[in-house]
Amino acid sequence: MKDRGSTEPARAAFSPERFLRRYGTLVGFILIVIFFWTQRPGTFMTIPNWVNITRQMSILGVVAFTMTIVMVTGDFDLSIGALASLVGIVAGTTFQNDGAVGTAVALSLLVGAAGGLLNGVLVAYIGISAFVATLGTLTVFRGLALYISGGASIYGRVIPAEFSSFGRGAIPLGKIGATDLALPNLTILAILALIFVFIILNYTIVGRRLYAIGGNMEAARFGGIRINRLRLLSFVISGLGAAVAGLMLFSRLSTAHPTQGEGLMLQAIAAVFLGMTLSEESQPNVGGTLIGVLILGVLANGLTQMQIDTYIQQISTGAIIILAVTLSSLSGQQRHYGRWLRRALRRLPREGD
């Protein structure tokens, strides 16, 4: 990742120490992959399994990538999981009322954007801390999803076949040896989201300004950046990401349940944090988030293949996240983490925006 909004002195010449500090999480990821490869040689490092992992992680990927934009400015969006569930219910209810797939998708994206807009207005214009505001909207979205659905799942014949087949479909890419290679539709959506966020953060003025806001909001304000508008925009993108993820989840399962997206939020934040260890300044960056998502996905897949108890899986996944972040702070990045956290905490009570 490139240096952005940083006041750090110019880097010294290449040193192995520095390389490991910077890319330790990536090295860890590669070690994890090699480890599973040696443990499950016949099933882990195979094309079908990696296609499987990308499909499984695609939904988390979309929310984690768009969440990265929010976290670049130093905010959080806790409402994405509940919003993804709500979007699924909105689409399912549209189908129940004989709506077409196009109508359902359009309505869903509208609901996602509206949810993000609400978060953005609360945080950027009313000045409530992102933590409190999105915790509030999380509860509202969850309540709405339960209210609209009456607490029940939407599934069965009301869901158009073209909608549910999308989530299970793939584009064939030909053969490698005896294996058919096909790129799942869900993976393609995640790649598109990744490219979209990567371009915004790295190749646009908006991206540079978002990093400037995250670096020092006061300085950014004096620099003439329209802070409120950009923070609002970041929440709207996050809301849209949640909507896309909610539709992907609905299509993959052919079932919309009023709480089915709620696991996404904490995992997305964990992925962004893992990715922050891959940046010199411990800033959220979408390339790092991708590695974070892959670490979570590979761990879940590999540990399941090794028949590790699911509770031990949760413990080891949590331990690896803590390990990665701790060691990257111990090795000299704590200043940056401290700064990021202090900024986030300072915004907790109320903003003087």
Partner 1 sequence: MRKFSLLLVILLLAVAGVGFAQDAPTVAVMTPFLAQPGTQIMVENFEASAMEKGWSVNVIDTNEDIAALVSRMEDVALQGVDAIVINVDPTQIEPGLHAAADAGIPVFGLDSGAHPLLVTNVTSNGYTMAAETATYVVDRLSGAGNVIMFIFEPYPPVQKRGAIARAIFENTPDITIADAITPSFDNGPLEGARNAMEAVLLAHPDAGSISAVWAAWDDPALGALQAIEDAGRADEGIVIVGIDATEQARDAILRGSNFEATVAQDFAGMAQKVADLVESHLGGADITQVNHYVPAKLVTQADLSE
CB of 99 to partner 1, least distance (A): 22
Distance CA 21, CA 4 (A): 19
Residues forming a β-bridge with 286? none
- For the record, the structure tokens of 150 come out as 């009456």
Q: CB within 8 A of 234, min separation 6: which ones?
A: 69, 70, 72, 73, 75, 120, 210
Distance CA 183, CA 341 (A): 39
Q: Does 249 bind partner 1 (CB under 8 A)?
A: yes
CB of 120 or CB of 241, closer to partner 1: 241
CB of 38 or CB of 204, closer to partner 1: 38
CB of 168 or CB of 339, closer to partner 1: 168
**Tell me, what amino acid is at 17?**
E
Window 289-328: contact mask with partner 1 (x via CB under 8 A): -----------xx-xxxxxxxxxx---x--xx--xx--xx
Window 2-31: contact mask with partner 1 (x via CB under 8 A): ---------------x--xx--x--xx--x
CB of 32 or CB of 114, closer to partner 1: 32
CB of 25 or CB of 129, closer to partner 1: 25
CB of 208 to partner 1, least distance (A): 29
Q: Where are the alpha helices (DSSP H) in the chain?
A: 16-39, 47-72, 80-96, 101-120, 130-149, 161-168, 185-203, 205-215, 217-222, 227-253, 264-276, 286-305, 310-328, 334-346
Q: Does 288 bind partner 1 (CB under 8 A)?
A: no
Window 45-84: contact mask with partner 1 (x via CB under 8 A): -x-xx--x--xx--x-------------------------
CB of 56 or CB of 283, closer to partner 1: 56
The footprint of partner 1 on this chain (CB under 8 A) covers a number of residues equal to: 53
CB of 3 to partner 1, least distance (A): 20
CB of 210 to partner 1, least distance (A): 29
Residues forming a β-bridge with 184? 170
Handedness of CA 11, 282, 235, 55 (dihedral sign): positive
At 25, give phi and psi (nearest 5°).
-65, -35
Distance CA 96, CA 196 (A): 32
Q: Does 103 bind partner 1 (CB under 8 A)?
A: no
- Helices 161-168 and 185-203: crossing angle in degrees, nearest 10, is 70
- 288: Cα within 13 Å, side-chain hemisphere: 30
Binds partner 1 (CB under 8 A): choice among 103, 202, 259, 329: 259
| C-alpha distances out from residue 82 to 5, 50, 235, Å | 32, 28, 14
Q: Does 253 bind partner 1 (CB under 8 A)?
A: yes
CB of 153 or CB of 216, closer to partner 1: 153
Q: Segment 154-183, which members bind partner 1 (CB under 8 A)?
A: 155-156, 167-168
CB of 236 or CB of 294, closer to partner 1: 294
Handedness of CA 139, 144, 149, 150 (dihedral sign): positive
CB of 21 or CB of 221, closer to partner 1: 21
Chain contacts with partner 1 (rule: CB under 8 A): 17, 20-21, 24, 27-28, 31-32, 35, 39-40, 43, 46, 48-49, 52, 55-56, 59, 153, 155-156, 167-168, 249, 252-255, 257, 259-260, 263, 300-301, 303-312, 316, 319-320, 323-324, 327-328, 331
